[in-house]
């Protein structure tokens, strides 16, 4: 029986002091300086992947409530939805992997965890939503089955019904 090399836990102040560096200053600074404030204000929840052997932060992501305008959902999915103006979603606001762990599949692990947490919430959530920061991020999310919103190709979503496919 193999165990995961990572534990995914809720953010704590101790986590933020662990020398995390993903190579994107905005994401590094957010983790070190703002994540705790967003949690206190109930703006987001932050989850961190800890390397079980090295006891260091390998990656993190944030989740918050969101919605997707029904007009931005591709027709083949929108036809199956009630005619509400928007459908409920969870948003990955930030997702980052430390430079030492990039290219090892940790981003996929973080997405799978976000899907699991979104589907286990006490509120109704149809999809996981993300705003990709650039072309590479868009390609990464599309590789994982995320669908671009109509009119906003860098805003993508993944219906929670796909959780079993990851």
**84 sits in which H/E element:** none
Plot region of 103 (φ>0 → left; ψ -120 to 50 → alpha; else → beta):
left
Q: How far is CA 31 from CA 28, 140, 144, 145, in A?
A: 5, 21, 24, 26
95, β-bridge pairs:
61
Classify 52 as helix, strand or coil.
coil
Catalytic annotation, pick one of 60, 61, 126, 141: 141
Our answer to whether residue 141 is catalytic in this structure is yes
Active site members: 141
């Amino acid at each position: 029986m193999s165990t995961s090399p990572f534990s995914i836990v809720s953010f704590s102040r101790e986590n933020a002091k662990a020398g995390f560096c993903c190579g994107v200053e905005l994401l590094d600074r957010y983790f070190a300086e703002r994540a705790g404030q967003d949690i206190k204000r109930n703006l987001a929840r932050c989850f961190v992947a800890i390397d079980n052997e090295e006891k260091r932060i390998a990656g993190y992501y944030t989740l918050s409530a969101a919605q997707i305008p029904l007009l931005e959902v591709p027709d083949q999915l929108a036809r199956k939805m009630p005619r509400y103006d928007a459908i409920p979603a969870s948003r990955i606001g930030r997702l980052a992997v430390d430079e030492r762990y990039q290219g090892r599949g940790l981003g996929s692990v973080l997405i799978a965890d976000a899907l699991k947490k979104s589907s286990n919430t006490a509120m109704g959530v149809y999809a996981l939503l993300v705003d990709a920061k650039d072309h590479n991020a868009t390609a990464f999310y599309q590789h994982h089955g995320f669908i671009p919103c109509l009119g906003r190709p860098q805003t993508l979503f993944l219906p929670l019904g796909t959780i079993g496919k990851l």
